Amino acid sequence: MTTENSQNNVTAVTQERARAIMGTNFLGIEDVIKHFSVSFTDDEMAALRDIPFTEAELLECKDTHVLFPGYPLSILEIQYRVPSNRLRIPYHIPLEDKDFSKMEKVGLRWYLIRNCSEGRAMAENYWDQIALLDKTEEVPRACEMIYMIMLYFMVYQKCLFDNYFVRCKDNSSKGYCVSIGNFHVYLNVCCWDFYVKDGHIGLATSRKPSLEY
């Protein structure tokens, strides 16, 4: 069954078709329910019925992005739901004191987030990296990145961002840029100055939804 976007006159991609296109870069509602131990209400399921990306966009991103449904969880709530010792927060970043870890929650929507940094400006500061984004891209929050990376790991037993960090949209309480990555045994959360240049720090990016329903 398909639905039509009235604004753009585009036929929505079904979840079955999206899975066929994205392959192992697709995470479904059933994966969220199983691995994060949550349940969706009828209204929440209805909100996720339509995928806000065209088939052409999914075909373009099938090897470089992960498509997944969000559920309203904070970083602290995600931490309680993942295997022990898989999400590590250094002692100098106490999550309990950070608004981004308690107040920021993943949105109830479909996300299309890049599964690697693409090597773009890995040795540049945050502002120079931001300047490279095109009009279809934005920087995701740390909660969205951690949600995707941990869910992907639990479904496919593969660590994304295993040998470098990527900067997220969030600021720490001291004004530093929150970054995640270096996922070997555990996923690390760190904070750096926005002007730091390092060959192992990239930028997290996601596609903006192109369809509205």
Domain residues for 161? 4-207
Q: What is the pLDDT of residue 112?
A: 98
Residue, of 98 and 132, whose pLDDT is higher: 132
- pLDDT above 70 for 9: no
Compute the average pLDDT of residues 144-158.
95
H/E/C letters for each residue in the chain? CCCEECCCCEECCCHHHHHHHHHHHECCHHHHHHHHCCCCCHHHHHHCCCCCCCHHHHHHHCCCEEEEECCCCCHHHHHCCCCCCCEECCCCCCHHHCHHHHCCCCCCCEEEEECCCCCCCCCCCHHHHHCCCCCCEECCCHHHHHHHHHHHHHHHCCCCCCCCEEEEEEECCCCCEEEEECCCCCEEEEEECCCCCCCCEEECCEECCCCCC
Q: What is the pLDDT of residue 3?
A: 52
Q: What is the pLDDT of residue 4?
A: 53
User: What is the number of structural domains in the chain?
Assistant: 1
110, part of any domain: yes
- pLDDT above 70 for 95: no
Residue, of 109 and 119, whose pLDDT is higher: 109
Residue in the block written with tokens 């470089």: 64
pLDDT tens across 190-212, in order?
888 999 998 899 999 999 999 87
212, part of any domain: no
Q: What is the pLDDT of residue 10?
A: 65
213, part of any domain: no
Q: Of the segments 72-86, 113-127, 152-166, which one has the largest average pLDDT value?
A: 152-166
Compute the average pLDDT of residues 13-20.
95
Q: What is the pLDDT of residue 104?
A: 87
pLDDT tens across 75-89, in order?
888 988 888 778 876
Give the span between the Cα atoms of 13 and 18, in whole angstroms: 6
68, part of any domain: yes
Q: Of the segments 31-35, 84-88, 117-121, which one has the largest average pLDDT value?
A: 31-35
Residue, of 13 and 87, whose pLDDT is higher: 13
Residue 84: HSE in the Cβ half-sphere, 13 Å Cα cutoff: 0
- pLDDT above 90 for 11: no
Overall pTM > 0.85: yes
Q: What is the pLDDT of residue 5?
A: 52
